[in-house]
Amino acid sequence: MTANVFDIQRASFVDGPGIRTTVFFKGCNLRCAWCHNPESQNPKKEMLFYKNRCVGCGKCKEKCAFSLEKCEFCGKCALYCPHDAREICGKEYTVDEVMREVLKDKAVYEGSGGGVTFSGGECMLQIEFLTEILKACKENGIHTAVDTAGHVPFESFARILPYTDLFLYDIKCLDSEKHEKYTGVKNERILENLERLLKCSASVWVRIPVIPTVNDTKEEMQGIKALLDAFGKPEKIELLPYHAMGEHKYEALGKEAEVFSVPSKERMDVLRHIFS
């Protein structure tokens, strides 16, 4: 059994408590307009080409068996590029291979109260693999977190509940039509799954990306707060300001990024105060 993973990031401080290793699964069933990891969306391998790094030396074309006319992801173009202008995104891992990376920092998790976070993309789209890797982590005494947008059957949550210490759960906005406009899907299933998770007494941190012109109003945040109060309050609510650090990845994938403004610190303070 394998999963397509596009990154394993060690020493993360932003994906749950303590110091963590975050495993990023490739493939997502949302298309958030503000996504800062566009390389996570396609479940298949992709080639990223950073034009600004390319000096036109021709090494990539010279080493490619197909002269760059097609790609079988052999990796030679990336390997021989002297300026790292090409990068293959996505690699098949077995459970044992991921665990080898995870276990490197077990002492760090124990000392910091950290652990492993499985993210994406949407890691729950590869539920068979996710279940097995969560089991392996628990067998090794490692704290587990699953970062999800929640747009999956609740049966998937039920499968991993016994092995998941924490869910990091995204809420984008309340209005379903607006949600569909900016993410490609309606939000009824997402909100229903969140309610069911909280009623199961699962440990949940709700994370809200703050996107100007989309959901950065007091009314929107007050509505989300009222909804969470009705569902049963999560352990923690995090507001995450939009940033534009993923724009260069869109260009490398041959896509065009939709750009939003970055919310000010003052605006973030006002919105956070609603939940305090």
Q: What is the pLDDT of residues 21-33, one digit of tens each?
A: 999 999 999 999 9
Domain spans in the chain, listed from the N-terminal domain onward: 2-42+92-245+261-275, 48-88
Q: Per-residue confidence at 12, pLDDT binned at 50, 70, 90?
A: very high
Radius of gyration of the chain (CA): 20
Is the pLDDT at 233 greater than 90, yes or no? no
Is the pLDDT at 41 greater than 90, yes or no? yes
The predicted pLDDT at position 14 comes to 93
Q: What is the pLDDT of residues 152-200, one digit of tens each?
A: 999 999 999 999 999 999 999 999 999 999 999 999 999 999 999 999 9
How high is the mean pLDDT of the chain? 96
Nearest to 231 by CA among 204, 209, 270, 271: 204
Q: What is the pLDDT of residues 89-132, one digit of tens each?
A: 999 999 999 999 999 999 999 999 999 999 999 999 999 999 99
Three-class DSSP category at 237: strand
* Residues 20, 26, 30: CA angle, nearest 5 degrees: 105
Q: Residue 189 is which amino acid?
A: R
What is the percentage of the chain residues whose pLDDT exceeds 90? Answer: 96
At a CB cut-off of 8 Å and minimum separation 6, what does 9 contact? 21, 22, 24
**Alpha carbon distance 76, 158 (integer Å):** 42
The domain made up of 2-42+92-245+261-275 has a fold known as TIM Barrel (3.20.20)
